[in-house]
Structure 1
């Protein structure tokens, strides 16, 4: 494991087709687990109306915003279908059931 990654929990902390959030000084990051045990990390804020994506429905490799049904790709962070917008994605790794997120990808504080 690279020094750039920090531990944020365990995969079993997240239900299949669910999410948990990591609070940072720069905002909340939603960490999703698919039905196939794939793990993705994106901003917990829908680009449409700032809805909490962590409370949305996970289907395949996408999540549907609970406020306005915008579908966001967990892989790319892009809105799917006719919608426009995108959220930031973050590199995440699973090692022996432990989850690690890349520090270098986290937003930096304005100087």
Structure 2
């Protein structure tokens, strides 16, 4: 059974913005909010040079890495062609305005 850990409210993340969720192990998790209030979670590092994706520009369902401009899909963590690579995604649950992340033993 999936267990969820409440992280923050949707209103705590600006539209087209991000919030960092600190972890004891590196890398941290980045929560992203789209213009349509969809929420996604990725490990906070670009697959290219480990740039902090949480500091990138969010457009539609992509985030652009602030270091070298790689576009990473928020849905699947995949780099947009011609770049190649992937950042791990973390399951997110949005209910009653609260954002939760999967917190079971299999989570990142």
Q: TM-score, normalised by structure 2?
A: 0.93
User: Is 1:26 paired with 2:25?
Assistant: yes
Partner of 1:38: 38
User: Is 1:9 paired with 2:4?
Assistant: no
Cα-to-partner distance string for 1:91-110 (whole Å, 9 max, x where unaligned)? 10111101100013533xxx
User: Is 1:75 paired with 2:75?
Assistant: yes
| Matches of 2:23 and 2:74, distance apart in 1 | 19
Deviation, 1:51, is 0.7
Structure 1 runs, 4 residues or longer, greater than 3 Å off: none
For structure 1, which runs of at least 5 residues remain unmatched after alignment? Answer: none
| Matches of 2:77 and 2:24, distance apart in 1 | 21
For structure 2, which runs of at least 5 residues remain unmatched after alignment? Answer: none
- SS in structure 1 at match of 2:54: helix
Cα-to-partner distance string for 1:59-103 (whole Å, 9 max, x where unaligned)? 000000001000000000000111011000011011110110001
User: Is 1:95 paired with 2:87?
Assistant: no
Q: TM-score, normalised by structure 1?
A: 0.91
| Matches of 1:50 and 1:77, distance apart in 2 | 13
Aligned length: 106
